[in-house]
Amino acid sequence: MTISRRRLLQTSAFATLAPVIGGAGSLSIINAACAQSPAKGAEWRHALSLFGEIKYPAEFKRFDYVNPEAPKGGIVRQIAIGTFDNFNIAVAGVKGNIAGAVGLIYESLTTASLDEVSTEYGLLAEAVSHPEDFSWVSYRLRANAKWHDGKPVTPEDVIFSLESFKKYHPQYSAYYRHVVKAEKVGEREIKFTFDAPGNRELPQIVGQLTVLPKHWWEGTNASGAKRDIGSTTLEVPLGSAAYRIKDFVPGRSVSVERVKDHWGRDLNVNVGRNNFDELRYEYFRDGTVALEAFKGDQVDWRTENSAKNWATAYDFPAVAEKRVILEEFLNRSSGIMQGFALNIRRDKFKDPRVRRALNYAFDFEEMNKQIFFGQYKRIASYFDGTELASSGLPEGKELAILETVRAEVPPEVFTKPYTNPVGGSAENVRGNLREALQLLKEAGYEVRDRKLVNAKSGAPFELELLGEDPSFERVMLFFKPSLERLGIGVSVRTIDATQYENRLRTWDFDIVVSSWPESLSPGNEQREFWGSQAADMAGSRNIIGIKNPAIDKLIERVIFTRDREDLVAATKALDRVLLWNNFVVPQWTYNKVRTARWDRFGRPPEPPKYGQSGFPAIWWYDADKAAKIGKRS
């Protein structure tokens, strides 16, 4: 899948299955009449790109990476971890546990291509227009865009959707907070006005708005009760996309079926896409059980996130017989920060020296050898794996940007390249622990009777490592003895998904494992990740609790960049300041996606450059292959 800002937000609310297969559409050719400018200084466009050229012209026939002859049909069974009790995406992340598959029934105004960076083509909208100063944007809906009940998609639906997300969804509220007005300005046109000019991302991120059916949500259900967009529901919602919900068992499974008369089935951007008749998602609360279900041919596709499993768990007959295919796909579409996230709302984590000390206690090299079979590398940037990652000392444009906040950031930003402590040997570990104890002493702690205590109050330093995935306990338990050698009292606790989500929403934790995927064109979502306003918003992605004026300024600098060179410099500056504040203990990354599949499917010869595997969006069911490996369990 390609990582866009919308996808980043969905990752925290939907199951990860949703973004890959999200709807796609195209723009009809804009004829002479349609090409009339909607306002002085603006013209209708068939696509938007943050930086660089748009690859596909208005009259293109299909994306280059699809098979236009791909057959339709078949079922694919996939894994979802956790549970669900909600189909209402407007309150996802705040109320209930959303069923990820529900994201497949909706469409947005635009959709991204998988072989370009930050380029969007029309889906529900056939054209877009904005002035050179990016102070507003207008979208014109396609005349034939329809909901599954046959009613047209209208400007009223778009406005209702924006207002609902801003009111009920804290992440989207922050994401769209600069949209101060949405109004119908024509039969099929909507104009969005922004609070200030110059934010080049806003026209594009408005196009990523998921559109909901106003008439359905303001109607009544089968029992005559009025629906409530602010509440959870398991009533099957109305959508407009290539799939609709077929059936479900709450918390256990959900299936979506292809809409054979989908309004956009013949659009050029849909050629070669949405090929499966049915996508079925089986929910598992435990990753080990999910793996065994895959081995037993109860699911068809598995993305493997465990290095140990990849090294040891796929030695079974079907693999040797080539009925199960193991394959890795290069991730070119995103970077990531994953780490032990410290809740700096709590006094014990407010001092950056304490936070840095915890990093010195983490022996990644030994963990990588013992637990991960040496497969990972240590993360050293919030944008690890991309050209946006800082390195060395700042220079040029990046240095100039950092000079504007020099008095507000750690001095090391200018004097030392950021590095993580290196373990892996007894000598290195002893040295790291000595450094950690020195930092803790400087922060006001000392060891008494083998316990780390506050030097003034005598209160012991204790922390809880909290998680929801039992398979991750081994990582926390590996970290625990090193922390205890510093005199820290450590407890490791794993709770169910619902309890975990509730504790995160109320900031009731010490340390959790979290990750922040980053697109190749970061922007407004950075406010949601690290901005001061998001720190107090329940359900936001600023789980660390960062309230830092310098970081706020650098985020704005990223958002208001003028070109790609400026964006890279501003992002590196932000990255460097985040790193030297030691908000997390960075963990590890792997630049490929590990997959296992029962060999029942076909695919284009080459995956899209920024689409990883592209599964299941551009794959198809291959009846001949399926016949060779036998019937499903």
CB 201, CB 120: distance < 8 Å: no
The helix (H) or strand (E) run that includes residue 467 is strand 462-467
Q: What is the pTM of this model?
A: 0.81
- The Cα 334–Cα 383 span in angstroms is 8
The two structure tokens encoding residue 3: 């990582």
Q: What share of the chain is helix, strand, coil (3-state, %, to 5)?
A: 30, 20, 50
- The Cα 531–Cα 217 span in angstroms is 32
The helix (H) or strand (E) run that includes residue 601 is strand 601-602
> Which CATH superfamily includes the segment(s) 335-589?
Dipeptide-binding Protein; Domain 3 (3.10.105.10)
State pLDDT tens for residues 6-63. 444 444 444 333 323 333 333 332 222 233 445 555 899 999 998 778 999 998 999 9
Question: Mean pLDDT across the stretch 129-138?
Answer: 96
Q: Where in the chain is the domain with CATH 3.40.190.10?
A: 5-60+105-239
State pLDDT tens for residues 510-558. 999 999 999 888 988 999 999 999 999 888 899 999 999 999 999 999 9
CB 234, CB 84: distance < 8 Å: no
Q: How many degrees, rounded to 5, is the angle at CA 26 between CA 24 and CA 27?
A: 155
Mutual angle of helices 564-580 and 396-403, in 10-degree steps:
60
Q: Where in the chain is the domain with CATH 3.10.105.10?
A: 335-589
C-alpha 445: how far from chain center: 38
Q: pLDDT band at residue 498, thresholds of 50, 70 and 90? A: confident
Q: pLDDT band at residue 578, thresholds of 50, 70 and 90? A: very high
Hey, what CATH class is 5-60+105-239 in? alpha beta
The two structure tokens encoding residue 203: 């026209």
Question: Mean pLDDT across the stretch 385-394?
Answer: 95
The predicted pLDDT at position 41 comes to 56
The predicted pLDDT at position 38 comes to 54
Long-range contacts of 26-34 (CB under 8 A, 24+ apart): 26/60, 26/121, 26/122, 26/123, 26/267, 26/268, 26/269, 26/270, 27/58, 27/121, 27/122, 27/126, 27/127, 28/126, 28/142, 29/58, 29/59, 30/58, 30/126, 30/127, 34/126, 34/127, 34/140
State pLDDT tens for residues 261-318. 999 999 988 999 999 999 999 999 888 999 999 999 999 999 998 899 999 999 999 9
* Mean pLDDT score across all residues of the chain: 91
The predicted pLDDT at position 13 comes to 41
